[in-house]
Structure 1
Amino acid sequence: MNGLHLGLFTFDDALCVQFMNEQLRIVLDLSDDAAGAGSDLQTFIESSPILASTAVQQVLAACHDAVLTRRLKLLEISSNEKGIFYFSIRIEPLPDQTFLATIVDMTAQRVAEARAVEEAMCDPLTGLPNRTLFEDRVVAALDRNASEGVDGPAVMVIDLDRFKNVNDTLGHLTGDGLLRLVSKRLQGMMRQTDIIARFGGDEFAALISPAPDLQSVSLLASRIVDVLSRPYLVDGHLVNIGASVGVAVTPLRGSTYAILLRSADLALYDAKSRGRGTSSLFQPTMDVRAAARRQNENDLRKALALREFSLHFQPQIDLQRNVIVGFEALLRWHHPERGLISPMEFIPLAEEIGLIVPLGEWVLSQACLAASCWPSDISIAVNVSPCQFGDTDRLIDAVAEALAAADMPGSRLELEITESVLLQDADRVLDALHRLRAMGVRVAMDDFGTGYSSLSQLHSFPFDKIKIDRSFVKDRADDRGQDAVIRAIAALGGSLGMATIAEGVETPEQLARIREGGCKIVQGYLFSRPIPVEEVDLMIARHNSKKNTDN
């Protein structure tokens, strides 16, 4: 029995030790002069320096109970007398009226299990608690609030702004380093009773428990935005990001984890909708807005499935020749109950929930089919969302399929993009634009003059057309300044071999300014509102007839 890999001993009805093996000395850390065979059980067990008094009493009680009942006894004990130890003990009666006790050291196994549980509860990148552990801590804080009457917790959901740009431009290793620095800054702003967790990606959460007064919670949220927005030095790179924070405090919103977290998420959405880089405290009215938004999402998905969308077309006029040279395809949603819904309302939502890609593909297909029935010298302009450039191969395939289905050459299709497209992943986007150009498709920069770096973007790709934003066309008190901008853009386009088009022309006075500024192509309500496809042929015929009459 001395060769067995477990400690064991036998004892009799009088609780006197009869035998012990050498492995038991190792398991219980017994010295050579410690009590052994022939000693009473209590003295024997107490001679182990690693068993605390509580553990000794548990073993003695189990042995005594086995003697009284002559039944098998199983127990696990832990002891922290000299470190933490875990033992599994089995006591069973033998036929000769004695008892056999086996002791197995479970410390390594239990420590490994505890480590595995801890790792399952922690984010491996930052070492912070993960979503599961965060939920446990919030629930515990809520329980203390309910049972002990202590102040309830506050929950903050923290989202990093512009983090994706860091990953895309500097790589994921730099992004990981940035996340570690963010976690350290967050931990530095917390009290000992508070907890910071990472939910994944660039989303963090904070448990403030017990929550101080509302003003202090709001000030902390603002401080988080400020501290996380300060520059970081990561792998030799100076990195700038921002943060948005949503806050929910227990007295304001129920007493369950799910409700508290949902309330913080709604507050975060409110902060993002107000331009990011800010914090927002949950208000009950946010529930109403969230319900309306969910309804809009459902309606939008249904509209795509039921084809509740249609295209209207607004003509583009060549001022020198007084002819229609193209139409811009504009999306319309005819809601069965709410009527016509503005694109300004549903396009951002479609981009946010990922519907803009299939919706954009439908627009491309229908616009090309419509244009294929027009005179061959009239083009069709289609707006492309930055989201569609997330998968450039899919976008190019959609363009090719739309042209093929309409049997229309690529030279009649013009894609309008905003400069924000070039700020995503410039090399990948430029490659896609050159592939589109190889198909004969023309590319226009839309809303020119409203971005941060419009001039620099013109050098990155040879655009076919510059579309002057309508904000420069509107009548204002500083018309002379606006006129100068229009002349400068028209001259710039001419020098680069790019046509210029002004949108939003509504009055004869605006047209005169545009013409004087040197812009060659215009569109706007002065010439026509967007019209359904059924009216396009008649418009072309009437305009051409008027042109011939004028001549």
Structure 2
Amino acid sequence: MMTGEYDVRLVILSILVAVFASYTALDLAGRLVSAYERKAYGWLVGGALAMGTGIWSMHFVAMLAFSLPIRLGYDITITFFSWLMAVIASGLALFVIGQNTLSWGRLLAAGLMMGIAICGMHYTGMAAMRMQPGIDYDPLLFGASALIAFVASMAAMWICFTLRNVHSFSGSLQKLGAALVMGLAIAGMHYTGMAAAHFSAEALCLAASDLDSTWLAVLIAVATFALLGITLVVSVLDQRLESRTSQLVHSLSEANAKLLHRSLHDPLTNLPNRMLLEDRIKQSIYVATREHSKFALVYMDLDGFKAVNDNLGHQVGDALLKEVSQLVADNIRSSDTIARVGGDEFVLLINDLKNEQAVISVCSKVLSVIQHIRGIGPHRFGISASMGIAICPDDGVEPSRLLAHADTAMYHVKSSGKNGYQFFQEQMNTDFSEEFQIQTELREAISTDVLELYYQPKLSTDEQQLVGAEALLRWNHSSKGQISPSRFIPIAEKFGLIFDLDQWVLEHACKSIRHWLNRGLQVPPISINLSALRLRQKDLVEQVEHCLQHYQLDPAYLVFEITETAEMQDILQAIEVLARLNLMGIHIALDDFGTGYSSLTHLKLLPMQQLKIDRSFISDLTSKPGQAEIVESIINLAHALQLKVVAEGVETEEQLAHLQKVRCDEVQGFLLSKPLPEERFVQLLRQYSAG
């Protein structure tokens, strides 16, 4: 029997090839799991080729490390089949460890099949020597090599499956250790199989070759290292590319989610916006129709928010909106919705409504929590809300109709004193339609100059000389006749026409004064009412300056009358605006004194020259006990503050006599003169100029 020898250098080289092939297998296992489905099949085929070639190369280098006293060689065709078995075994292993789970049954079956393939590769490779007579194998060692192949295959697949998702540095070290164990196991199987082989002393190798086995082994090893190295590099680069792609996909998904969220939510309060609200209303309509149930829409507007926003700044206003949003959200069910649909406008969607009392309970709770807001930060103020309620299906089964009806009901609460709630009634639509028609016609009346100014004279109390007049707006409608200012002015405020209306009065009063002066008439100061909204207008002073310059008027010809409600809402801004007007030479009068919330501090701060006592005090001057003393106290207070006093609504001689007695400066009322159209007021001016 011939005894073979091994080239230690090639043995070591074969083991290194086995270890490298094992490490590559571990890395490829991770790629199979993380790669997309179509890409995973490519990695399975490529991995099987690279890993199979590595295992086969280890076997072939180890075969070349073996030498006998005779020349050896290997049949190319048989050797090719041994390589094919290694590739098949590797493909099977990668397929098994690429699955989501690895049961013991599957591991045993795959280990048996892979062990058979590896044994087949080894012993087919031995057969490629084409020894004559053939190789005899020791049954015990042959069985041991087969057992090692089976156990090594199971162990290799289990290790690959366990470490396939490990990508950290410590994980790489674990893979390196595992690759060393797997490589030694594969090498152990080969050399056990080689130890089982017995060669006859008369044996010849029919595939003998003159090639130098050492250089052939080195060449195969280098080629295999190159193949495995390229596979590893491609795997790492692909993994990084896929990781980067995954990050980009994740970032894009997050960005899309944020964009979707922003498109459906209010950026300030993070509440649903109108678009999302309408979608939820449609869902609620569907459920209500299917289950014959009801739900409520509550349109809510904050009372006094504009005053807070204008006086204290947008930061405070925004903080207030956030607090209101949070408070309301905390006091409704999770199945309900609060949405912000405008500046200070919110809509509550209350689902699965059992009865009207349920929505009343919600509205009462929301009103209560809003009323308990006492300010933001160091700023102290109070706030309330007006709420209109529409019920589906009673008030409609379309989102737009329900919202419109809830909005209409809310406006009725506003016009009825605010701070409350009201259910929609069909009559409200009629009222709203009438209001809408009036505002349309009023807009046209402003643009076509069909409005008129009447002038009510102010007389000195003692001598009853003309000392001024108040310009009063009148609208003689072509079909409805005279429409009272108490009717159309609130509508103008509601529909945003009050600025145009106030500007129209200012323009026409200045135009008339210039016309009278050009005719040589003596003109007393003309009083013009400033609405609360106009007083908050940022460019009010500039508009007044422009109007005076256009008509070349001395500012002393104008007196601006403001109501207590107007200046009390925006005291800081009122002081600034009125002070600028006062510096121009325009006098300021506080109108309707006694009906609002004036305080002595406010009266001292505001730059005023006149105080007008409200007609409600004058009407009861001689009939109601204590009323005369109140009027006298007001006059004394005004005189102490260097203010002139004008009494409104003087209608009887007794009232005039008493006002003369308590030294009231000026009087105005039907006893002296009703409001006069311009042509009759011009006649009065002629008398005044002639006298």
TM-score per shorter chain, which class?
Answer: 0.7 to 0.9
The aligned counterpart of 2:631 is 486
Helix, strand or coil at the partner of 2:602:
helix
**Structure 2 SS opposite 1:240:** coil
Higher-strand-fraction structure: 1
Provide the rounded CA distance (Å) in 1 between the counterparts of 2:375 and 2:648: 44
* Residue aligning to 1:178: 320
Q: In structure 2, what residue type is equivalent to 1:37?
A: G
Q: Answer whether contact 1:379 1:413 (CA < 8 A) is retained.
A: yes
Quick one: higher RCO (CA 8 Å, sep 6+), 1 or 2? 2
Q: Aligned residue for 2:618?
A: 473
1:178-229 deviation digits (Å, cap 9, x = unpaired)? 3333223222222232122222432222111112212222222222212221
Give the TM-score taking structure 2 as reference length.
Answer: 0.63
CA contact under 8 A between 1:10 and 1:20: conserved in structure 2? no
Q: CA RMSD in A?
A: 3.2
Taking the TM superposition and a 5 Å limit, the aligned residue runs for 1:121-132 are 121-132=264-275
**SS at structure 2 position matched to 1:361:** helix
Which of 505, 515, 530 in structure 2 is aligned with 1:384?
Answer: 530
CA–CA distance in 1 between the matches of 2:566 and 2:424? 33
For the 8 Å contact 2:462–2:660, the answer to whether it is kept is no
Asked if residue 430 in structure 1 is aligned to residue 557 in structure 2, the reply is no
Deviation at 1:425, TM superposition (A): 4.0
- Are 2:459 and 1:317 aligned? yes
Contact 1:325-1:377 within 8 A present in 2 as well: no
Query: Which letter does structure 2 place at the counterpart of 1:116?
Result: L
Letter in 1 for 2:360: S
1:9 Cα deviation after fit: 3.6
Cα deviation for residue 17 of structure 1 reads: 5.4
Equivalent of 1:189 in 331, 336, 343: 331
Cα distance in 1, alignment partners of residues 485 and 561 from structure 2: 16
Q: What percentage of aligned pairs have identical amino acids?
A: 35
What CA distance in whole angstroms lies between the structure 2 residues aligned with 1:423 and 1:450? 12
* Residue identity in the other structure for 1:482: Q
1:270 aligns with: 412
User: Aligned partners of 1:160 and 1:360: how far apart in 2?
Assistant: 25
1:7-406 alignment, distance < 5 Å? 7=36, 8-9=38-39, 18-19=45-46, 37-38=91-92, 44=98, 46-47=100-101, 105=246, 106-146=249-289, 148-232=290-374, 234-235=376-377, 239-372=381-514, 373=516, 375-376=521-522, 378-393=524-539, 395-406=540-551
Displacement after TM superposition at 1:398 (Å): 3.2
Amino acid at match of 1:504: G
Indicate if the aligned counterparts of 2:568 and 2:597 stay in contact, CA closer than 8 A: no
Distance in 2, Cα, partners of 1:274 & 1:136: 32
1:72-125 Cα deviation digits (max 9, x unpaired): xxxxxxxxxxxxxxxxxxxxxxxxxxxxxx998555533442333123222333
Residues 362 and 177 of structure 1: is their aligned pair in 2 closer, same or farther, counting only changes over 3 Å? closer
Give SS of 1:459's match. Answer: helix
In structure 2, what is the equivalent of residue 78 of structure 1? none
Checking the alignment, whether the CA contact within 8 Å between 2:559 and 2:587 is kept in structure 1 is: yes
Cα gap change, 1:220 to 1:461, in 2 (>3 Å): closer
Deviation digits for residues 246-301 of structure 1 (CA, Å, limit 9, x no counterpart): 11110211211111111111111111111111011111111111111110110110
User: 8 Å contact 1:386–1:421 — kept in the other structure?
Assistant: yes
Structure 2: where are the runs of 5+ without partners?
Answer: 1-27, 49-88, 104-240
Tell me the CA shift for residue 466 of structure 1.
1.1
| Structure exhibiting the larger radius of gyration computed from Cα positions | 2
Determine the C-alpha separation between the residues in 1 that align with 2:47 and 2:659. Answer: 105
Contact preservation (8 Å) 1:150, 1:210: no
Partner of residue 408, structure 1 = 553
Equivalent residue, structure 2, for 1:509: 654
User: Aligned partner of 2:278: which letter?
Assistant: E
User: Does the 8 A contact of 1:371 with 1:379 survive in 2?
Assistant: no
Amino acid aligned to 2:414: K
Against the structure 1 CA distance between its residues 277 and 6, is the aligned structure 2 distance closer, same or farther, given a 3 Å change threshold? same
SS in 2 for 1:415: strand
Q: TM-score, normalised by structure 1?
A: 0.78
For the Cα contact (< 8 Å) 1:473–1:514, is it kept in 2? no
Q: Is there any run of 5+ residues in structure 1 with no aligned partner, and where?
A: 22-34, 50-101
2:651 corresponds to which letter in structure 1?
Answer: E
SS in 2 for 1:206: strand
